[in-house]
Amino acid sequence: MRLILLGPPGAGKGTQATRLAKRFNILHLSTGDMLRAAVAAGTPVGLRVKDVMERGELVSDDIVIDIISDRVDEPDAADGFILDGFPRTVAQAEALSVLLEEKGLTLDCVIAIAVKDEALIERITGRYSCAKCGAGYHDVYHNPKVEGVCDTCGGTEFIRRADDNVETVKSRLLAYHGQTVPLIDHYTLKKLLTNVDGMANIDDITEEIAGVMAGISG
């Protein structure tokens, strides 16, 4: 089974992809992880990525497609994969479709996890972590048991990521919607898209996606 997981930053794509890949015994392909792995392994495409990153440039679609292509050829990808973080644009979706076609593979479905912007802003801007041990907390969902004291290490200093502020999150969401709406239309036209309510709790979302996947494989 081969599927794509779409969703805005903060929608929990990574968590869902990890759980579902395990349950269905298929690969979780995160493009970020694949890029890092290719660099670490020193493959020809990894060396190209390293070059690009050292120059401070963005890795091009061609390179990402080459990396996905190499990874999909490996024996452990035979039963399928969940792509997380790619494609982000219609051009990337088209390149992916060409690649799969060349290999005689089909894409079975595209799952779009939908979360309201206000909820994403609350999720992301509420995040903070212990300055000492890195334990993660949230203003609304998960504060330390004793106010101002880290549950894990007893530390009393907490930090927030600079890019987790409202303005930055809003502009990331704006960019996401600009790119993703056409992508969702693209896969809707191909009759591959299923929308999943990302406002439900994490376990319910997993079950809903698992149900869609079971329907396809069954």
The span from the CA of 86 to the CA of 6, in Å, is 8
Which member of 91, 133, 175, 214 binds Zn ion (CB under 5 A)? 133
Catalytic residue among 23, 103, 161, 190: 161
Q: Assess whether 71 carries a catalytic annotation.
A: no
CA–CA–CA angle 26, 64, 89 (5° rounding): 90
Q: Which is nearer to Zn ion, 6 or 130 (CB)?
A: 130
- 132 belongs to the binding site for Zn ion (CB under 5 A): yes
Catalytic residue among 13, 19, 71, 123: 13
β-sheet with 27-30: strand ranges across = 27-30, 81-84, 2-6, 109-114, 193-197
Token look-up 């987790």 returns 164
Q: Assess whether 132 carries a catalytic annotation.
A: no
- 150 belongs to the binding site for Zn ion (CB under 5 A): yes
Q: Which is nearer to Zn ion, 36 or 132 (CB)?
A: 132
CA torsion 190-194-199-204 (nearest 10°) is -160
Cα distance from N-terminal residue to C-terminal residue, the chain = 11
Q: Assess whether 48 carries a catalytic annotation.
A: no
Q: Assess whether 161 carries a catalytic annotation.
A: yes
Give 162's DSSP letter: G
Q: How far is the CB of 165 from Zn ion (least distance, A)?
A: 22
The maximal CA–CA distance of the chain, rounded, in angstroms, is 57
- 213 belongs to the binding site for Zn ion (CB under 5 A): no
Q: Judged by CB under 5 A, how many residues of this single chain contact Zn ion?
A: 8
Q: Assess whether 160 carries a catalytic annotation.
A: no
Q: How far is the CB of 15 from Zn ion (least distance, A)?
A: 22
Which member of 153, 174, 181, 199 binds Zn ion (CB under 5 A)? 153
Which member of 8, 10, 85, 155 binds Zn ion (CB under 5 A)? 155
- 128 belongs to the binding site for Zn ion (CB under 5 A): no
Q: How far is the CB of 20 from Zn ion (least distance, A)?
A: 31
CB 100 within 8 A of CB 110: no
Q: Taking the CA of residue 33 as centre, how many other CA atoms within 13 Å lie in the half-sphere pointing to its CB?
A: 11
CB 39 within 8 A of CB 73: no
Q: Which is nearer to Zn ion, 130 or 205 (CB)?
A: 130
Q: How far is the CB of 144 from Zn ion (least distance, A)?
A: 9
Which residues sit opposite 3 in a β-bridge?
82, 109
Residues that bind Zn ion (CB under 5 A): 130, 132-133, 135, 150, 152-153, 155
Give the active site residues: 13, 88, 127, 161, 172
